[in-house]
Amino acid sequence: MNIREKNSCNASNPDMTGSFTQINKLFTAKDLLITSLISLAYLLLSYWLIGYQQDQLTLVLLFNICYYLSFITRKFIVGFSIFIVFWIIFDFMKAFPNYHYQEVHIQSLYEAEKKWFGIQDAGKLITPNEYWTLHRTRFLDVLTGFFYLSWIPVPLGFAAFLFFKNRKWFLEFSLTFLFVNILGFIIYYAYPAAPPWYVQQYGFDFIAGTPGNTAGLYRFDAYFGVSIFKSLYEKSSNVFAAMPSLHSAYPLIVLYFGWRFRFTWINLFFATTMLGIWFAAVYTSHHYVLDVLAGITCAAIGIVIFSKLSQQKTISKWIEAYARKIA
C-alpha cells in the first residue's frame, strides 16, 4: 500500500484514527514512568514497614487499571487518591503502635465512663456497654451489625455521587474527610485508649500487641454464618485507638455535607445511619459513649478548621487546580 492509499484509508476511518490518538494520550511515557515509580515505591515501603500483604498489591493493581482504562476512570482514581492516602496512613500506623509513645488509658477511661454514663442494673452501677451485653437481643445484634457495616460504604458512596455531580463538592467533602481522620490519628497517639471489649476480656492490665477483636459484632457473623467482621478486625492497625471513635465521626461529616449541599430526603437516611452507628458502637462494646462524643467533636472541629483553611489563598488555588485535573 502506498502513502496515498494509507492516507485515504485513514481518512475513511476517522474513528480508528481517533481511537489510536486516545490510546496514545492514555499511555504516555511520562505517565507510565510516574505510575510505575509510585507503585514500586509504595510496595517497597509497605514491605519494609509492615511486611507484604495481598491488600497492597490489590490497591496497586486497582489504581493502575483505573488510571489506564479510560480518561473518566483516570479522573475518578486521581480524585479518589485522597481516600487511598487515608488508607495508606491508616495501614502504616501498624508500624508505629501508639503505646510505644504514650501510656494506654484503660481503667481511668472505664471509670470515667461509669461515672458520667453509668446505669444502675440489679443494684450495681455498670457502663452502657456492660448493660447492653447483659440485655442484648437478636434483633439488635443484626440491626447494629448492618449499621456498622455502613461506616465506610456510606461515605465512599456519597463521595462517588459527588464526583459525578460536582467535582468541587467532591473535593471539599473528601479533603475534609481526610483532615478529620488525620486529627483523629493525632489523638490516637496523644491519648491511647483501650476499647470496652478489652476491659471485658483482659481487665485493666496492658498487653502489648493485643490482636483485633470483633467484640459484640461476632453475634452478627454467627447469625448469618459469615466472617465479615472477623476478617475486618483481623486487619486492625491498633486496638488501643478507641478515642476518638472515627466510626462516629464519618456519618456526621456525610450528614453535614448533605445538609450543606441542600440534599433533601437522602439526609434522612444519613441521619438514621449516623444515629444507628453511634448506638452500634456502644451496643457492640467497640466504643464507650465518651469515645463516640470525642468522635463527634473531632468531626465538628475538623469541619470548621478545614473550612477556614480552604479559604486561604494558597490552599484554595490548590483545590481549584485539583478540581481542574479531575474535571
Strand pairing partners for 241? 193
Of the listed ranges 13-27, 200-214, 296-310, the least confidently predicted one is 13-27
User: Quick check: 11 pLDDT over 80?
Assistant: no
User: Quick check: 12 pLDDT over 70?
Assistant: no
Q: Rounded distance, CA 79 to CA 153, Å?
A: 17
CA distances 240 to 23, 147, 205, 207, 235, Å, are: 48, 23, 13, 10, 14
What local confidence, expressed as pLDDT, does residue 19 receive? 53
What local confidence, expressed as pLDDT, does residue 135 receive? 97
Calculate mean pLDDT across residues 301-309. 97
Q: Which residues contact 277 (CB under 8 A, 6 or more apart)?
A: 147, 148, 150, 151, 247, 248, 250, 251
What local confidence, expressed as pLDDT, does residue 8 receive? 47
Calculate mean pLDDT across residues 72-98. 95
Domain ranges of the chain: 1-94, 102-325
What local confidence, expressed as pLDDT, does residue 6 receive? 46
Closest by CA position to 198, among listed 151, 246, 233 = 233
Q: Which residues contact 3 (CB under 8 A, 6 or more apart)?
A: none
Hey, which of 3-7, 27-31, 177-181, 261-265 has the most confident mean pLDDT? Answer: 177-181
What local confidence, expressed as pLDDT, does residue 234 receive? 76
Closest by CA position to 35, among listed 9, 62, 5 = 62
Dig out the grid coordinates for 57 from the structure.
498489591
Q: Are 308 and 261 in contact (CB under 8 A)?
A: no
What local confidence, expressed as pLDDT, does residue 7 receive? 47
Q: Rounded distance, CA 108 to CA 106, Å?
A: 6
CA atoms within 13 A on the CB side of 254: 29
Calculate mean pLDDT across residues 68-72. 95
Mean pLDDT, the chain, whole residue set? 92
Q: What is the pLDDT of residues 248-304, one digit of tens each?
A: 999 999 999 999 999 989 999 999 999 999 999 999 999 999 999 999 999 999 999
CA distances 321 to 111, 114, 159, 171, 314, Å, are: 49, 50, 19, 11, 11
Concatenate the DSSP letters of all residues of 218-245 into one string.
Answer: HHHHHHHT--HHHHHHTT-S-SSB-SS-
What local confidence, expressed as pLDDT, does residue 52 receive? 87
Concatenate the DSSP letters of all residues of 266-303 into one string.
Answer: HHHHHHHHHHHHHHHHHHTTS--HHHHHHHHHHHHHHH
Q: Rounded distance, CA 262 to CA 244, Å?
A: 28
Calculate mean pLDDT across residues 3-30. 59
